[in-house]
């Protein structure tokens, strides 16, 4: 199984650094889509990822169109995470090639994505007291559930 995490226009370098560290420790590729709210040389990004950046397989694409072109849905199973999803993240189907796609910290995924891929929107259950979970926590929750269901994909 090939598993990738994609972040759409992430804004907070510490979140992206934490996610990069998670990806390094699980052999999961990281895709950054669109405009970033920080520089890839940002000191907070580097500190959050510690000295693990060399172990991250990182792809940067400039637009959603470029993402869809480089990672087409006839090859990859897309799983978009959104508070608007009607299915739980535990229902993400296991396939040979999965990409979990997360929106940014302030506005989530674009409405166009939510409309186009409504059948592939998944959510993390939570009460109505908060707007959303922290991005890096959300990625960890979803990523480790998929890995668990795949017997941790050779991790030890």
CATH of the domain at 16: 3.40.1280.10
User: At 49, is the pLDDT very low, low, confident or very high (cuts 50, 70, 90)?
Assistant: low
Q: What 8-state DSSP symbol labels residue 94?
A: P
- Assess whether pLDDT exceeds 80 at residue 24: yes
Any binding-site annotation on 103?
A: yes
Instruction: Please state the domain count of the chain.
Output: 1
pLDDT-based confidence at residue 119 (cuts at 50, 70, 90) = very high
Q: Is 130 annotated as a binding residue?
A: no
Residue 85 structural domain: 2-154
Query: Reduced to 3 states, what is the DSSP secondary structure of residue 90?
Result: helix
Dihedral of CA 127/4/112/17: which sign? Answer: positive
What is the model's pTM?
A: 0.95
The answer on whether 12 is annotated among ligand-binding residues is no
* 153 among annotated binding-site residues: no
């Amino acid at each position: 199984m090939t598993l990738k995490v994609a972040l759409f226009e992430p804004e907070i370098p510490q979140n992206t650094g934490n996610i990069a560290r998670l990806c390094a420790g699980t052999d999961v590729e990281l895709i950054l889509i669109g405009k970033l709210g920080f520089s890839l040389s940002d000191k907070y990004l580097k500190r959050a990822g510690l000295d693990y950046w060399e172990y991250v397989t990182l792809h940067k694409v400039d637009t959603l169109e470029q993402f869809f072109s480089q990672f087409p849905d006839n090859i990859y199973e897309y799983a978009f995470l959104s508070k608007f999803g009607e299915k739980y993240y535990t229902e993400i189907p296991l396939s040979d090639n999965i990409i979990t796609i997360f929106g940014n910290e302030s506005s989530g995924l674009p409405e166009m994505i939510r409309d186009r891929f409504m059948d592939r929107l998944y959510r993390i259950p939570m009460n109505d007291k908060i707007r959303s979970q922290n991005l890096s926590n959300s990625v960890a929750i979803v990523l480790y559930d998929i890995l668990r269901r795949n017997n941790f994909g050779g991790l030890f």
